[in-house]
Structure 1
Amino acid sequence: MTNKPKSWWGAPRTITNTIENRKISWLELFSDLIYVVIIHSFVENLSEHFNLYGFVTFWVLFLFFFNTWTNMVLYFDLHGKNNLRNVFFSIIQIMAVAVTATFTPDVFAGHYTGFILAYSFNQLIYMYLYLRTMIADPLHATTTRPFLIAYTIGEALFIASIWVPNLAVQQGLIVVSLIIFLSAVMAENGNFDREFRLRKIPFELNSAILERYGLFTMIVLGESLAGIIEHMAAEHTHLTDYTHFIIAMACITGTWMIYYTLMDERTITAHRYWPISLFRGIHRFLIACLTLQSFFIAQTIESGKVIDYRGLVIVTALVLVALLALTTPKLYNDQPLPSLKIKWLTGTIIVMLVLMAAPVFLGLLVIDIMLLTIGCWTWVLEN
């Protein structure tokens, strides 16, 4: 009878207790839903603060939220189990992220206290979860203890910034805290190398994690579609509006085709931990650029301004650059992108940048044709 409550509540899975061919759980899918609203909030608030401060705020907020998402993805993959404990803390974390997201407009307006308190509560949840993994698996302290120490220091600076009277200093402390949070794992790559080699853990990103990244990408592309459909619902009075709508749809479709044909069935392995961290960092940059693409697509079809169009071209080109960085290096790719595809993508990036000088919708139409052509060509080669 004494063991029944423990089994009912459950314990974290040890890092060596891997699950072969792990599939994404319904709980993980549910936890990703909140980011649909968060991405939409980013785009909406950026449109209201279309200036340098707005873009800096976007990047800071994106990195804060994506860091939370990454930590929970890794926790699910390394320590998650199908038990009540995992469900309970996941739901609490979803609620905490949702509450934190309500302060997004305040941050864009220059008010940070509510966001700091809500985000800190969210951080404490998975800091506690990782602490429990270290207690359940003492050997895991090699990597978990430095991680928790770094996060504790970052949290102390983050919360202390609330009482700083100078706004610039407060913003500086927030950015420093973010840098600590983002660099905590990368800074201890040597610890991960030691633990993984000692415990014979492969340096890889399994298919479940890659699928989570793909699903997050789908969320962002969905926001792009929502933005142009929302505009079309309000402005569907002329044939020109429908033409612009189709051009915007083609841009999203081409981006989708290229991403999923290049990333599908990709195997990410390395001989050390830092290339795995690098791959995750590049993917984070790619998703941020896709979010900005969503913003600029909506702005371009609404205003037709050159500045919006050029912003769209730049972030779309950066998406392709990030895809090249994800699929080309032998550092972490078992099957690097062939040289012919690299040349085509590189050529497309160059032509896209040249087209910044073209009339807005003519240039966007040509870019759409290039994206769709490469997407279809890559799909044919893969199949």
Structure 2
Amino acid sequence: MNHTRKSWWGAPRTITNTIENRKISWLELFSDLVYVVIIHSFVENLSEHFTLFGFVTFWVLFLFFFNTWTNMVLYFDLHGKANLRNTCFALLQIVAVAITATYTTDAFAGHYTGFILAYSFNQLIYMYLYFKTMVADPLHATTTRPFLIAYIVGEIIFIGSIWAPSLLWQQGLIVLSLLIFISTVMAENHNFDVEFKRRGIPFELNSAILERYGLFTMIVLGESLAGIIEHMTAEHTELADYTHFTAALVCIIGTWMIYYTLMDEREVTASHYWPISLFRGIHRFLIACLTLQSFFISQTYETGKPIYYTGLIIVTALVLLALLALTRPQLYNVHPLSSPKLWATSGTIVLMLLTLLMPVFVGLALTDVALLTLGIWSWTTQV
């Protein structure tokens, strides 16, 4: 009877049972869709809370949600199977993330209880999933047990913050729990080294994971496009509006071209686990900056104010710096970025920063030229 139950419900795939040339499943693609709404919510709430507190809240919420996304991406890649069990829990997690997202506006307003409870339910889902991988594969306890212990401690602090004596204390406890959640895997580098070497698992990010990062990046760029199109269709009809719209659009296109040209066919492998963790951390920072770029592009286009343009240039420069950090080091790149592309990207960053001395839309036009030139040149040399 037990064998029959497992045959239709399924069990998690063991970490050594790798899938060669794994393709992203339709279930994974569907699970990413909920983040379209989350990214849009971030941009909208930043528009309403353009303050230091608003930006801190953005970073905190972004890291919470992206941590969930990362954990589920790794679970799919290491333990996922095309069975009923995996499908049911993936769909349940989508529902949990969607419910959590409904409390984003409350969190920006300084009300955290709903977000804490919803996010905790979401975390319990994949904590349970990782626990079951340890049960099915006892050798995996080397890395899974410390992971679960750290998350239990973080959850106790996180949920306990509901009863904090003051708002400041609550915010401090929330940030402390977040630091535990996002640092757990990095802190476990030695355990991963031990398990991976003992079991002959390569230290690498396969093409499926890299493609998931690329798809998330596409979601953020899609939000950038949606933002400027929404502003354009609302009330803008003059020639200058179309000119500014085009300038904002070209900025997005240039960013897209540079990212996908530099990241295309990238092979990420290392001799230890910590460079792999570092690569994922840098990519997380890059996607956060792209989300901020979406906000600043729409606000620059809508208002033309220098403060928004300054923010746009700074975060776009940070995106390019993050791309250099992802593609240049031999620490995890099989084929590091060439020196000419390194200098060309660095020169583009310098030129963009110089445009801060110019009128907003003149500077944006020059930034567009710089980004497009770098993107087209990188693509032609790669082809």
If the TM-score is normalised by the length of the shorter chain, which range does it land in?
over 0.9
Structure 1 residue identity aligned to 2:194: R
Cα distance in 2 for residues equivalent to 1:223 and 1:2: 47
Match of 1:190 in 2: 190
- Give the aligned partner of residue 103 of structure 1: 103
Please report how far the alpha carbon of residue 300 of structure 1 lies from its aligned counterpart in structure 2 after TM superposition.
0.2
Cα pair 1:164 1:170 within 8 Å, conserved: yes
Distance in 1 (alpha carbons) for counterparts of 2:114 and 2:352: 41
Q: 3-state SS of the aligned residue for 2:20?
A: coil
Which 5+ residue runs of structure 1 have no aligned equivalent? none
- In the TM superposition, residue 350 of structure 1 has moved relative to its aligned partner by 1.1
Q: Distance in 2 between matches of 1:272 and 1:354?
A: 40
Cα distance in 1, alignment partners of residues 301 and 108 from structure 2: 24
Q: TM-score, normalised by structure 1?
A: 0.99
For 1:265, the equivalent position in structure 2 comes to: 265
The correspondence of residues 108-187 of structure 1 with structure 2, limited to 5 A, is 108-187=108-187
Could you tell me how far 1:236 is from its partner in structure 2?
A: 2.3
CA contact (8 A) 1:224 1:295 kept: yes
Shift of 1:165: 2.4
**What is residue 291 of structure 2 aligned with on the other side?**
291
Matches within 5 A, 1:174-253: 174-253=174-253
Structure 1 residue 235, shift from structure 2 partner: 2.5
Question: Cα distance, 1:80 vs. partner?
Answer: 0.1
Letter in 2 for 1:233: T
**Is the partner of 1:130 in helix, strand or coil?**
helix
Deviations 1:316-371 (A, max 9, x none): 00000000000000000000000010001011111111111110000000000010
Whole-angstrom distance in 1 between the partners of 2:283 and 2:111? 29
Whole-angstrom distance in 1 between the partners of 2:118 and 2:240: 45
Q: 1:132 to 1:349 in 2, by over 3 A?
A: same
Q: How many angstroms does 1:3 deviate by?
A: 1.8
Cα distance between partner residues in 1 of 2:235 and 2:328: 42
Which secondary structure state, in structure 2, belongs to the residue aligned with residue 13 of structure 1? coil
User: Structure 2 CA distance, aligned partners of 1:344 and 1:2?
Assistant: 61
Q: Distance in 2 between matches of 1:2 and 1:70?
A: 32
In 2: Cα distance, 1:80 partner to 1:258 partner:
32
- Give distance in 2, aligned partners of 1:217 and 1:35: 11
Paired residue type of 2:34: I
One-letter amino acid of the counterpart of residue 178, structure 2: L
Query: C-alpha displacement at 1:166, in angstroms?
Result: 0.6
Aligned to 1:51: 51
Per-residue CA shift, 1:83-130, capped at 9, x if unaligned?
Answer: 000000000000000000000000000000000000000000000000
How far apart, CA to CA, are the structure 2 residues paired with 1:350 and 1:376?
18
Letter in 1 for 2:143: T
1:351 aligns with 2:354: no
Cα contact 2:97–2:119 (8 A) shared by 1: yes
Q: Deviations over 1:214-242 (max 9, x none)?
A: 00000000000000000000122200000
| Other structure's SS at 1:3 match | helix
Q: Is the 8 A contact 1:356 1:363 kept in 2?
A: yes
Q: Deviations over 1:124-172 (max 9, x none)?
A: 0000000000000000000000000000000000000001121101000
TM-score by length of 2: 0.99
User: How far apart in 2 are the matches of 1:114 and 1:298?
Assistant: 29
**Aligned partners of 2:304 and 2:214: how far apart in 1?**
30
How far apart in 2 are the matches of 1:209 and 1:215? 10
2:14 equivalent in structure 1: 14
Quote the offset at 1:74 in angstroms.
Answer: 0.1
Question: How far apart, CA to CA, are the structure 2 residues paired with 1:3 and 1:145?
Answer: 27
Work out the CA distance in 1 between the residues paired with 2:374 and 2:204. Answer: 28
AA at the equivalent of 2:138: P
Instruction: Tell me by how many angstroms 1:194 deviates.
Output: 0.3
- Quote the Cα distance in structure 1 between the aligned partners of 2:72 and 2:301: 36
Q: CA RMSD in A?
A: 0.6
Query: 2:107·2:115 contact (CA, 8 Å) conserved in 1?
Result: yes
Residue 2 of structure 1 deviates from its aligned partner by 4.5
Supply the distance in 2 between the matched residues of 1:139 and 1:5 (Cα, whole angstroms).
24
Q: Which residue pairs with 1:81 in the alignment? A: 81
**8 Å contact from structure 2 (residues 351, 370) kept in 1:** no
Conserved 8 A contact 2:161-2:173 = yes
- Partner amino acid for 1:316? T
**C-alpha distance in structure 2 between counterparts of 1:107 and 1:135, whole Å:** 36
Q: Distance in 2 between matches of 1:45 and 1:254?
A: 26
Residue identity matched to 1:90 = A
Q: Is the 8 A contact 1:235 1:241 kept in 2?
A: no
Are the aligned partners of 2:251 and 2:367 in contact in 1 as well (CA < 8 Å)?
yes
Q: Which deviates more from structure 2 when the two are superposed, residues 335-344 or residues 234-243?
A: 234-243
Instruction: Please tell me whether the aligned partners of residues 40 and 223 of structure 1 are also in contact (alpha carbons under 8 angstroms).
Output: yes
Partners in 2 of 1:11 and 1:255 — Cα distance?
A: 41
Q: Which residue of 2 aligns with 1:362?
A: 362
Output the CA distance in 1 between the equivalents of 2:158 and 2:237.
49
Q: Give distance in 2, aligned partners of 1:112 and 1:351.
A: 42
SS of the residue corresponding to residue 201 of structure 2 reads: coil
